[in-house]
Chain A
Amino acid sequence: EAGVVQSPRYKIIEKKQPVAFWCNPISGHNTLYWYRQNLGQGPELLIRYENEEAVDDSQLPKDRFSAERLKGVDSTLKIQPAELGDSAVYLCASSLENPDSNTGELFFGEGSRLTVL
C-alpha cells in the first residue's frame, strides 16, 4: 500500500514569490493534516480536513496561506507571497479517523522542505 505522497521534496524560492505543495493521502483516509515543522521543534498544525471540509484552520495564516482539498482526496497548500520566516518543512499526514480514536494514527509523508531566500 502506498503511503502519503508529497511533492516537491525541496523548494528554494526568493521572498515574495509564490509556492505550492501537493499531498496525496493514503487511499481511504478521510482526515488530512498540513503541519509546519521548524528545525528542532515539533510539528505545528496548519489545517485539518475531514473529507473536503476544513474543520480546523485556526493556526493557518490566512493572509498568505491557503489550502484546498478538492473531492476529499489530494490537497494543495499555497503560500503567496512567501516570507523569510516561512522557511520550514511542510508535512502532510492522513488518518483513517479522528485523533481521539485508537485508529486515528497519523501517517506522514516525507515532507517538503522550503527555503526562502
Chain B
Amino acid sequence: KNQVEQSPQSLIILEGKNCTLQCNYTVSPFSNLRWYKQDTGRGPVSLTIMTFSENTKSNGRYTATLDADTKQSSLHITASQLSDSASYICVVSAWSNYQLIWGAGTKLIIKP
C-alpha cells in the first residue's frame, strides 16, 4: 500500500535554531517528492519538488534531501523564524496513475 509517514508529529523550537523534519515513504513506482508548507487557515504552498535523480534541493532557508534507495526525505530549516510556524507536509507522486500520496504533516512551532 502506498503510504507516506512523517515525523515528528509536532515540534517546538526556539527562534534562530535549526530543525529537521523526516518523511518516509512506501510509494512505488516513484515519480517525485514534494514538500509543502501550510500556514494555519491557509492552503498549502509548495517549497520543493524533487525527482529520483535529485539528492538535495534548496529554497532559501529550506533544504530538502532525498534518498531514493532508503525511501527517505528530510526537510532542514536553517535559522528558524517566527513565520516558519506552520505544518510541513511531504507528498509523493506515484508514476503509474499520477496519484499524489500525502503525509499527515509535521506541525512546527517557533517560539521567540
Contact = CB atoms under 8 A, between A and B. Distances in A.
Contact of A100 (B32, B41, B89): B32
A47 to B, nearest CB: 13
Contact of B103 (A42, A48, A102, A105): A42
Prevailing SS type, chain A contact patch: loop
B100 interface: yes
Interface string A12-54: 0000000000000000000000000000111111001000000
Contacts of B1: none
B42 A111 contact: yes
B104 interface: yes
B46 A100 contact: no
Interface residues of A, number: 24
A108 B45 contact: yes
Nearest to A93: B43
Contacts of B42: 110-111
B32 A91 contact: no
Interface of A: 4, 40-45, 48, 56, 91, 93, 98-100, 102, 104-111, 113
